[in-house]
């Protein structure tokens, strides 16, 4: 039977199952622990301990994963209408449903935490300035996570709608205490920045490689397929290191990825020390976020103290 109190609890086979709504997920989340969980997930995936096939899409989108010997779980959501989301976590080997999380926050902040892990692995140790193109939830969770791995001294944001970027700036300053400036063009948001995040829904390039300064760590979150990408091949040409969180997911994109998946490395391999990342202060790095499956239940398991 489901208890309707603030902490929603059910019982499956007389064992407590926790159900967290969106507000409870947000109350449990903090950036350093979320980034740490995603760093561990990326390494586990690289080492074959986290089984995470590419997502499946029909009416619903499913991403699933299994931390061998510990748990398995999935996330489901209706991408085309932006409907409700659910993340389910089963313990192994008994298959007990241990936790459910509802709402969009767990998935969104897990993407931010993956970006934070990428910046921590790829950005210069002294990186302190951040440029953001985009002012939606994806952009916010990236700044939230990056602030946990680098002492940001200055953020610049651009998006086409003035009110959106002003509201974004207000939130960054209010919640993170980081100085932030809203600018009128994407080049102003990129040039001279140590870290650049591109988080848009644009299907045409919004960034040019010529704007990128030596030593910059670039993250892209939006469309990245042939004929529909927020960046062009020039960005890849300017990068010394290119990685993604899930090479299998990148290879499974349909239409195909703009960049040849064979030329894109594994972020988990870099974090594990099995592949080179940045090897010099002038290098430009590029992280293509595609969404490593299994990381939503991984983060839920961490919030529940199960990993």
Query: What is the mean pLDDT of each successive set of 10 residues along the chain, which is 307 residues long?
Result: 38 66 96 98 98 92 96 90 85 96 96 98 98 98 98 98 97 97 98 98 98 98 97 96 98 96 97 98 98 98 90
Q: Structurally, what CATH architecture does the domain formed by 122-288 represent?
A: 3-Layer(aba) Sandwich (3.40)
- The per-residue pLDDT for 1 is 28
- The per-residue pLDDT for 17 is 85
Cα-flanking dihedrals φ and ψ of residue 38, to 5°? -70, -35
47/64 Cα distance (integer angstroms):
17
Domain(s) of CATH 3.30.1780.10: residues in the chain: 8-107+294-303
98/21 Cα distance (integer angstroms):
15
pTM of the model: 0.94
- The per-residue pLDDT for 99 is 97
Q: According to the 3-state scheme, what is the secondary structure of 280-303?
A: CCCCCEEEECCCCCCHHHHHHHHH
Fold of the domain built from segment(s) 8-107+294-303: ornithine cyclodeaminase, domain 1 (3.30.1780)
Domain(s) of CATH 3.40.50.720: residues in the chain: 122-288
1/197 Cα distance (integer angstroms):
45
CA angle, residues 291, 40, 43, in degrees to nearest 5:
75
């Amino acid at each position: 039977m489901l208890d309707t109190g603030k902490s929603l609890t059910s019982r499956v086979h007389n064992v407590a199952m926790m159900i967290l709504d969106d507000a409870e997920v947000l109350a449990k989340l903090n950036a350093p622990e979320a980034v740490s969980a995603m760093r561990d997930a990326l390494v586990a995936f690289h080492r074959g301990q986290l089984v995470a096939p590419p997502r499946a899409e029909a009416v619903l989108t499913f991403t699933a994963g299994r931390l061998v010997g510990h748990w398995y779980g999935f996330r489901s959501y209706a991408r085309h209408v932006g409907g409700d989301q659910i993340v389910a976590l089963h313990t192994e080997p008994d298959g007990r449903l241990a936790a459910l999380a509802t709402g969009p926050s767990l998935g969104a902040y897990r993407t931010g935490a993956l970006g934070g892990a990428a910046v921590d692995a790829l950005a210069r140790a002294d990186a302190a300035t951040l440029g953001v193109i985009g002012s939606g939830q994806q952009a916010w969770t990236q700044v939230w996570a990056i602030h946990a791995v680098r002492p940001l001294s200055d953020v610049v944001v651009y998006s086409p709608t003035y009110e959106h970027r002003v509201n974004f700036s207000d939130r960054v300053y209010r919640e993170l205490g980081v100085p932030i400036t809203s600018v009128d063009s994407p080049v102003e948001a990129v040039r001279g920045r140590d870290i650049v995040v591109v988080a848009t829904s644009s299907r045409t390039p919004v960034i040019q490689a010529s704007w990128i300064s030596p030593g910059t760590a670039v993250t892209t979150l939006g469309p990245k397929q042939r004929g529909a990408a927020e960046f062009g091949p020039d960005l890849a040409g300017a990068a010394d290191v290119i990685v993604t969180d899930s090479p299998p997911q990148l290879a499974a994109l349909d239409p195909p990825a703009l960049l040849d998946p064979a030329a894109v490395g594994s972020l988990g391999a870099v974090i594990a020390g099995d592949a080179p990342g940045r090897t010099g202060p002038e290098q430009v790095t590029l992280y293509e976020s595609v969404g490593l499956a299994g990381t939503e239940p991984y983060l839920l398991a961490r919030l529940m103290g199960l990993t």
